[in-house]
Each structure stands twice: as structure tokens, then as C-alpha cells.
Amino acid sequence: MAGGDKLRLIVVTPERTLLDEPVSALRFPLYDGDIGILPGRLPLIGRLGVGELHVTKSTGEEHYFVDGGFVQVLGPNVTLLTDRAIPAADLSAADAAKQLEAALSRPAKTDEEVAAKFAEQQRARRMLALAQQTH
């Protein structure tokens, strides 16, 4: 990476390393809100949220759905460890709508069940929004 004008994005899932390439900028969800990263960012460790990973490269923009995990920014390296990272082009609005419908109809009686139901709904809503946005 030359002169601090690029970042190196590494996205790792339990199955494989999905990305390891230079980028100009990126934006992604943290547990408590979105964050944008540009070259020269101070070090950061955070809890990754659920939603869109927006990557800006010299060849254009790419979008991914990420599903929780952790992020580390150290120098020019940005590492995302996530349970799932799906290219937005591979998302199906119909499948996301089905997941949302299932989450909405799921019964919940205990506090833990209510929290899990809400998390499933949020995940499905964000996946559906990204699928609709990119298709």
C-alpha cells in the first residue's frame, strides 16, 4: 500500500477469506451504529453489527451483507471477522421476505425468545432492504 492513500480490507468468515484487497474507503454497521473508514484512521476494535458493508474501490463500489462479528482497524489494515458475508448481488429479495415473514410469525414468550425474534426480524429487514436496493 503506497503512502497511506489505500486501505487493505480483509473479510473472513468461518468458511473462508472472502476479501483481501486494497480499497479506498468502506462503511459498515457496528453494534451501535454505522461507521465509515478512510485511510489514516486511528486504531479501532469493535463489535460488528448486521447490515451492509459498502466498499469503495478504484474500480467502483461493492456491497455485501454482513451478519455480526468483530472489526479491527490497525494502520492501513481493516479486518472484519463475521459469521456471514454475502455479496449483495447474491441476495434474493424473495428469500429475505420469507425470512422476515417467518420471524414475524415466530411465537415468543420469554424475554430471550422476544430478543431473538427481534434480532431475526432486524436481520431479515436489513437483508431485504439491501436485496431490493441492488436489484
H helices of the chain, where? 93-105, 111-134
Amino acid (1-letter code) at residue 133: Q
Residues in the chain: 135
pLDDT score recorded for residue 1:
39
Long-range contacts of 106-109 (CB under 8 A, 24+ apart): none
Instruction: Compute the mean pLDDT over every residue in the chain, rounded to the nearest whole number.
Output: 92
Same domain, residue pair 80 and 103: no
Task: Work out how many domains the chain is built from and give that number.
Answer: 2
Among residues 12, 54, 8, 18, the alpha carbon closest in space to that of 35 is found at 54
Same domain, residue pair 115 and 127: yes
| pLDDT per position as a tens digit, 31-81 | 999 999 999 999 999 999 999 999 999 899 999 999 999 999 999 999 999
Confidence of residue 10 (pLDDT cuts 50, 70, 90): very high
Same domain, residue pair 101 and 45: no
Cα–Cα dist 116/59, whole Å: 39
pLDDT score recorded for residue 5:
79
Residue 2 counted as domain residue: no
Same domain, residue pair 39 and 84: yes
pLDDT score recorded for residue 4:
62
Same domain, residue pair 71 and 36: yes
Residue 80 counted as domain residue: yes
Residue 1 counted as domain residue: no
Determine the angle formed by the axes of helices 93-105 and 111-134, rounding to 10 degrees.
160
Same domain, residue pair 31 and 70: yes
Task: Judge whether residue 99 has pLDDT over 60.
Answer: yes
pTM, entire model: 0.85
Average pLDDT over residues 86-94: 92
Same domain, residue pair 102 and 84: no
Residue 48 counted as domain residue: yes
Task: Judge whether residue 16 has pLDDT over 90.
Answer: yes
Phi/psi for 101 (5° steps) reads -60, -45
Same domain, residue pair 40 and 83: yes
Domain of residue 55 covers 7-88
Residue 60 counted as domain residue: yes
CATH code, 29:
2.60.15.10
Residue 109 counted as domain residue: yes
Residue 78 counted as domain residue: yes
pLDDT score recorded for residue 2:
43
Cα–Cα dist 134/64, whole Å: 10
